[in-house]
Amino acid sequence: MTISRRESLGLLALGSIGAHAFQSGAFQSMALIDSARAQSSVPPAPDERTIADAYIYLLGRVLAIRQEHMDRSDPGFAYNTIKYNPLGSADFVNPNFDVAYLEAWIAADDSIPVILEVPEVRDRYYTAQILDEWGEVIANINERTFPSKPFGKFALVKPGSSARIPADASRIELHSSKAKLLGRVELKTDRDGAVRLQKQFTLTALGTPTIAVPPAVPMFGNKDLIGPEIFDDVDARLASALDVAPNAAELQQKVRAVAAYVGSSEAARTKVAAQLKKVVPEFQDYALTKAMPYRNHWMGGESPVGNFGKDFRLRAAVNFAGIWANTVDEVVYFIATRDSDEKPLNGGNSYVMHFAADGLPKAAVNAYWSVILVGVPDYRVVPNPLNRFNFNTYSPLRYEPDGSLKITIGPKPVNGVAESNWLPAPDGKPFSLTFRTYVPKEVVKQGGWQPPALALVK
């Protein structure tokens, strides 16, 4: 069959139209595919539980990072250099006035260990507590936990380090390249002797280790905690220190999922910020009233403090309310923020703690007990004209004729109770009490003993 020139041109035109239609359809298909790909690259919105878990888990680490930045800002700070806190120093959260206190940031690397030397201490409580960068206790060096070597030289090394250590130093492997050292020597009635022992704790790096700068975090207070910016640069924050918690992998996956969503758009960031307005106050309430067993209007007792296992919420709560807590074998903490009527403690009121003669605090410990008053929400001591911030085993307290003990708390002494037993409170302001039992007896560790509730003096 022959076709005319006109028919040939017509067929060419139809072919051109068909090709154009094909190309147009192909482009449309490609556009749809690209659109689908773009949509599929937007991370799905995490549910409320995932956001809460991710935030609280990461907050535990960020609070420790914040503390490292705060410590680094102190004049004279240097890694592997001990700061011997003066007796009565109160410039940190929930201080301990019953001990000569020392602290340092340890920093080792693959080839350089750090040598800690602990003096021999007799007839008084002491410990050299070493914690990782998440607040987990690595070791307590003392006669109870290190009976084979309660003092002497210890080589603190980075995990997997092949560094050579002195023959007379015992190896302690850290959880990462950094750790926090807290040393405590009980004052008893010999303050000068405690200070002499304090100064005999030494820390020496065997070289110049490479020390990473802590990840950047915005500074924030405990009243107004960090918001969605906690999820910025999470890889650097998570990679900065190994977490030994058995559920770290699953929780870090949640953190990365939320971080990806927060970084996907302003709308996503705003949505997470709105969710955190619920998460943050719920966490703060949990940390202050529910993180540990609540008995007799005190929170505390048997719980995995110091070595937290899977309990990332408790770890974050402890780092929030009083960072660098110790294990229950060393100390059990009790915290009171409410009175016997479940009303918040207020410095405008007067309260009494009445220990029965058969329930005195000295009977609950193998070392010593202490109670300290701090303000809320910063958990720092509140100045008062007497400079009296705490009582302990050695305070000159006056006992009742029946052998019981009354401690009063308030803006002024309480009639009928010795002034020596009065702990001044900030008039009209909220406060908290922390009761410490050092080397607690089993009854305390098993939850069978708590301080008496604070009864309002009417």
How many Å apart are CA 252 and CA 238, to the nearest integer?
8
**Residue that the structure tokens 């040939």 belong to:** 8
pLDDT band at 89 (very low <50, low <70, confident <90, very high): low
Amino acid 376: pLDDT: 83
At position 113, the amino acid (one-letter code) is: P
Confidence band of 7 (pLDDT split at 50, 70, 90): very low
Choice between 381 and 435, residue whose per-residue pLDDT is larger: 435
What is the reported pLDDT for 142?
98
Strand order across the 455-456 sheet? 422-424, 405-410, 351-355, 455-456
Per-residue pLDDT, 28: 52
**Residues ≥6 apart with Cβ < 8 Å to 402:** 357
Count of H-run helices and E-run strands, the chain? 8, 19
CATH number assigned to the domain covering 294-456? 2.60.120.600
Q: What percent of the chain has pLDDT over 70?
A: 89
Q: Would you say residue 110 has pLDDT above 90?
A: yes
Least confident of 21-30, 75-84, 269-278: 21-30
Higher pLDDT, 339 or 387: 339
Is 92 strand, coil or helix? coil
Query: What was the pLDDT predicted at 95?
Result: 66
Long-range Cβ contact pairs of 374-378 (< 8 A, separation 24 or more): 374/93, 374/94, 374/431, 374/432, 374/433, 374/434, 375/426, 375/429, 375/430, 375/431, 375/432, 376/288, 376/337, 376/430, 376/431, 376/432, 377/221, 377/222, 377/223, 377/284, 378/93, 378/221, 378/222, 378/223
DSSP string, 18-39: HHHHHHHHHHHHHHHHHHHHHH
Residue 6 has pLDDT above 50, yes or no: no
Q: What is the pLDDT of residue 12?
A: 35
User: 424 by DSSP, 3-state: which?
Assistant: strand
Work out the pLDDT band at 34, boundaries 50, 70, 90.
Answer: very low
Which phi and psi angles does 23 have, rounded to 5°? -65, -40
Query: Does residue 352 have a pLDDT over 70?
Result: yes
What's the pLDDT score for residue 189? Answer: 87
Where is average pLDDT lowest: 23-27, 61-65, 111-115?
23-27
Position 88 scores a pLDDT of: 67
Give the tens place of pLDDT for each residue, 279-309: 999 999 999 888 988 999 999 887 889 999 9
- The domain locations on the chain are 48-66+215-289, 80-205, 294-456
Residues 6+ apart with CB under 8 A from 40: none
pLDDT, tens only, 157-199: 999 999 999 999 999 999 999 999 999 999 998 999 999 999 9
* Torsion sign across C-alpha atoms 432, 352, 303, 101: positive
Judged against a pLDDT cut of 60, whether residue 266 lies above it is answered with yes
Categorize the per-residue pLDDT at 40 as very low, low, confident or very high, splitting at 50, 70 and 90: low
| Confidence class for position 433, pLDDT limits 50, 70, 90 | very high
Average pLDDT for the chain: 90
Mean pLDDT of 23-39: 47
| pLDDT tier for residue 91 given thresholds of 50, 70 and 90 | low
pLDDT of residue 349: 97
Report residue 86 as tokens: 């003066």
Classify domain 80-205 by CATH number.
2.60.40.1610
Q: Is the pLDDT of residue 93 over 80?
A: no
What lies within 8 Å, CB to CB, of 230 at 6+ separation is 55, 58, 59, 62, 217
Q: Are 425 and 373 in contact (CB under 8 A)?
A: yes
pLDDT at 98: 86
- pLDDT value, residue 3: 40
* Tens of pLDDT, residues 229-253: 999 999 999 999 999 999 999 999 9
Give me the torsion for CA of 46, 47, 49, 51, rounded to 10°.
30
What's the DSSP call for residue 344? B
